[in-house]
């Protein structure tokens, strides 16, 4: 029998309310990443599954964690994971009924609605891969769940999970009906494709000196085989990645920047002239096509960003914008390093744009935090934290999410939510270690380590942990370490 089904102790079958503990907060942080609209933050479902299991077994019978636990089973192992966890999920609800956390029945119902809606979305998206016999097993289990929920929750209208199977059956039937039509469309598409001239693939040979780019190059080549993909934001992000990595490689090895990395002067002049006259979708396509062969051409990305803004595009091009700004600011050598024929890699126009963009971004962070701080001072602490959570989840890049996380920590300190601040700092420390931020963005890493050693937080750490953080800070910035010291 799973230990999750056993009471926490003889004194309290459901244990304690664990939601303010660090492990619980870490789980919630992972779940919050689901809402990240850019996809730049990925939920670690192993952490969600294992940490939820540990709390459910030893500390608290919590329906929120139970829902996260079973959802993590689906995310990690799809059908087999769901069918393995579902019987335990049902038994926990049947055994502990309405005594489990959270205490309010309405809160429990909202959690179950969240689980049902997310499972429904995932299951329908994977309907095509449903193993034989799975639908019947799932139907029996979900019908059993629907029977016990009204009794367990003492509520006559909990969400009905068996509706998932009904919609799954409908989706499978629809897919079977649509299959012949799809085959005909594919055949027609192949016929049309043969009549189209192939888009010129990127010349990957000139990047062969960088083994780490091989996977990116292959991906870009695959994307470049379809004309419609040349207009996609993902395609542009891939090109930007390969270009920036190539330029960084040159800068770090102190090589000269070859003019062949950029379009010929005639082509650049023509595109720049067109850009000054009009900013159209046609020009956008021309620029993206040029970047296929010259992904290091920074001015091309600059033109594209301004065209998107001019057209009022709804495409999520902000990641391209943030990445360009961050790359230039992180590589100051580009401002002085020129090609053999004095081609300005970073033009005065781009320098001015970067300066304005950085100022506006800094002002935005300050203004938004001031709004949150004002809410906190009015006693609306939860609203202030929720406001910063929303900004964090809307981050366009990993760096932006990192900065908003720092603001969340500032707010937690301001409102004396010390355990929350420490939990969020651990999240940032994990990112620093995982992505080696101490090497390519030391300033952000320094901020995190300085916060760890802030007296109000440091007193909650063990001496061993404080010494470890201090050593990390010394390696990156001895000056900062000397100013802070360690008690």
> Considering the chain, what percentage of its residues have pLDDT values greater than 70?
80
Q: Give yes or no for residue 203 having a pLDDT over 50.
A: no
Measured CA to CA, the distance from residue 359 to residue 357 in angstroms comes to: 5
Distance CA 378, CA 383 (A): 10
- 105 touches 152 (CB < 8 A): no
pLDDT digits (tens, 9 = 90+) for 120-131: 999 999 998 899
Residue 259, SS3?
A: helix
Over residues 305-358, the pLDDT tens digits come to 888 888 876 556 777 887 787 777 767 667 665 555 567 788 888 888 777 765
- Dist CA 56 CA 89 (whole Å): 11
Give the CA count within 13 Å in the CB-facing half-sphere of 104. 4
Q: What is the DSSP string of 286-339?
A: HHHHHHHH-TT-HHHHHHHHHHHHHHT--S--HHHHHHHHHHHHH-GGGGT---
- Which residue from 52, 111, 57, 92 is spatially nearest to 76, judged by alpha carbons? 52
- pTM for the predicted model, two decimal places: 0.43
Write out the residue limits of the CATH 1.25.40 domain(s) in the chain. Answer: 352-484
- Classified by CATH at the fold level, domain 352-484 comes out as 1.25.40
More confident position, 376 or 143 = 143
- Tell me which residue of 191, 180, 79, 187 sits closest to 136, measured CA to CA: 79
* pLDDT given at position 428: 92
pLDDT at 162: 92
Q: Which residues contact 91 (CB under 8 A, 6 or more apart)?
A: 5
Q: Is the peptide bond before 102 cis (omega within 30 degrees of 0)?
A: yes
Q: What phi and psi values does residue 62 have, to the nearest 5 degrees?
A: -120, 120
Distance between CA 398 and CA 385 in Å, rounded? 20
- Judged by average pLDDT, the poorest of 266-275, 391-400, 438-447, 448-457 is 391-400
- Report which of 190, 214, 207 is spatially closest to residue 247, judged by C-alpha positions: 207
């Amino acid at each position: 029998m799973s230990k999750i089904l056993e009471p926490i102790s003889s004194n309290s079958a459901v244990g304690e309310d664990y939601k303010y503990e660090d492990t619980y907060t870490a789980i919630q942080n992972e779940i919050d990443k689901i809402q990240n609209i850019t996809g730049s933050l990925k939920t670690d479902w192993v952490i969600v599954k294992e940490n939820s299991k540990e709390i459910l077994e030893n500390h608290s019978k919590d329906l929120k964690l139970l829902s996260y636990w079973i959802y993590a089973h689906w995310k990690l192992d799809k059908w087999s994971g769901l069918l393995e966890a579902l019987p335990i999920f049902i038994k926990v609800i049947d055994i502990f009924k309405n005594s489990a956390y959270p205490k309010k029945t309405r809160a429990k119902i909202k959690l179950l609605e969240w689980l049902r809606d997310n499972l429904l979305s995932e299951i329908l998206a994977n309907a095509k891969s449903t193993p034989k016999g799975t639908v019947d097993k799932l139907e029996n289990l979900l019908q059993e769940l629907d029977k016990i929920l009204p009794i367990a929750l003492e509520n006559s209208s909990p969400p009905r999970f068996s509706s998932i199977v009904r919609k799954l059956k409908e989706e499978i039937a629809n897919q079977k009906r649509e299959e012949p039509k799809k085959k005909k469309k594919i055949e027609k598409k192949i016929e049309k494709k043969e009549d189209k001239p192939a888009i010129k693939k990127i010349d990957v040979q000139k990047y062969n000196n960088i083994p780490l780019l091989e996977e990116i190059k292959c991906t870009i080549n695959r994307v470049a085989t379809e004309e419609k993909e040349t207009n996609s934001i993902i395609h542009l992000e891939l090109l930007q990645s390969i270009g920036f990595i190539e330029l960084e490689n040159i800068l770090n090895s102190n090589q000269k920047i070859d003019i062949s990395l950029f379009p010929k002067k005639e082509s650049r002049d023509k595109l720049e002239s067109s850009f000054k006259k009009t900013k159209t979708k046609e020009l956008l396509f021309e620029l993206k096509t040029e970047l296929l062969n010259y992904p290091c051409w920074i001015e091309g990305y600059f033109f594209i960003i301004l065209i998107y803004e001019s057209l009022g595009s709804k495409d999520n091009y902000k990641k391209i914008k943030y990445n360009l700004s961050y790359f230039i600011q992180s590589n100051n050598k580009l401002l002085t390093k020129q090609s053999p024929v004095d081609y300005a890699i970073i033009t005065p126009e781009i320098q001015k744009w970067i300066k304005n963009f950085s100022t506006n971004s800094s002002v935005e962070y300050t203004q938004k935090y001031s709004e949150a701080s004002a809410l906190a001072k009015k006693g609306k602490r939860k609203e202030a934290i929720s406001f910063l959570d929303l900004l964090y989840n809307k981050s366009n890049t990993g760096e932006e999410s990192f900065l908003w996380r720092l603001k969340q920590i500032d707010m937690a300190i301001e409102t004396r939510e010390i355990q929350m601040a420490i939990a969020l700092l651990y999240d940032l420390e994990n990112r620093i270690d995982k992505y080696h931020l101490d090497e390519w963005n030391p300033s952000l890493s320094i901020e995190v380590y300085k916060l760890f050693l802030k007296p109000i937080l440091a007193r909650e750490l063990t001496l061993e942990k404080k010494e470890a953080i201090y050593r990390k800070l010394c390696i990156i910035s001895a000056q900062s370490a000397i100013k802070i010291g360690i008690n």
